[in-house]
Structure 1
Amino acid sequence: MTQEDADLDSLVRKRIRALRVAQGWSLEELATRARLSPSSLSRIENGQRRLALDQLVTLARALDTSLDQLVETDTDDVIANPMIDGAHGVLRWALKAEPGMTVMRRRMTDPPPDNPAAMRAHPGREWLVVLSGTAILMLGHRRIRVETNQAAEFPTMLPHAIGAAGGPCEILGIFDREARRGHQGEDKPPGRS
């Protein structure tokens, strides 16, 4: 076995264990889901048993991942540079692992609109994290304060708008493909979602 093969072997075993632990499953639980004995799974995780393709396929399914993701080694391009959207005062990053997902950083100074007709609704989901200051999330008839280091997740089919509360705030927004489409091509002021 070459060093490259040994490194991949070790990486796959670590991923299997990490995915199992992340799910909160014991060896017995994953073994049952993968139709393996707990001792066989333990030997796979600890490097005492050869990795077989059929077992990797079964383990990937049981761990709700793909074989490709389990054995992926291409981690060279882990840095994503922002695209600057000066017209809207935001930085955007496309997520490679989730095509269609976009991350956007925005500084807001204006409060959200008081007029419910100014709120928008469109397909998709959005997530936001307040990096500094306090944001106000208008969501339907609710007015929600989101403080520094707090996050909000919401379906964008609810009418919504985002603004600052009592001074500037900076947010990091994550948009799925549909939510991103709902924001493309807008000529909106920087304080609006």
Structure 2
Amino acid sequence: MNKDKPQLGSIIRNLRSERGWTLKQMSEAVDITMSTLSKIERGQLTLSYDKLQQVSDSLGISLSDLFAPNRNWVAADAPVTGRRAIDTLEKALRVNTNNGDIFYLCTELRQKQMVPLVCQVKARNLDEFGPLSHHRGEEFVYVLEGSVNVVTEFYSDFILNQGECMYFDSSMAHAYLIAPGFETASILSVGMSDRAQV
């Protein structure tokens, strides 16, 4: 992991500082307890994708802008042309959660329509995963390694093997688990928001 990339705790602390907020004010703004926010800022806790989306929505910024190292705010309707980003897992912003190690890619680009990430899946069952994930927009997932058991609220569980993919409405609750018989699994996921600025 690249030490030059900011960690989630420092991102949250810097956002709070930029706004001149106390921990209590930030807690009220994003609807996360003060003790949880304090642990996040100290690097003792992380947030799931859903909770990160909640924070960005509450603060009125896109998820891609939440991770941007340089947050010189740009108008939402400003034209975005001729840009690119090149990244690697070693340089990605890494967030460790109970259900996977998530590597957010190309975080320096702001006003992205998509949020690309690689997840090294950890959970083998729903007890380890916790509550199913759901967030606005749509999601594409491609299995890079191993196989994943995909659990959703509307369909029967099914296995996606290496090289297979799916596209779905991510407001449908879902989870990715390491499939039985596999030691590891990793996926490439690209989320797209129903708003134009993620």
Tell me the TM-score range normalised by the shorter chain: 0.3 to 0.5
The TM-score normalised by the length of structure 1 is 0.46
The TM-score normalised by the length of structure 2 is 0.45
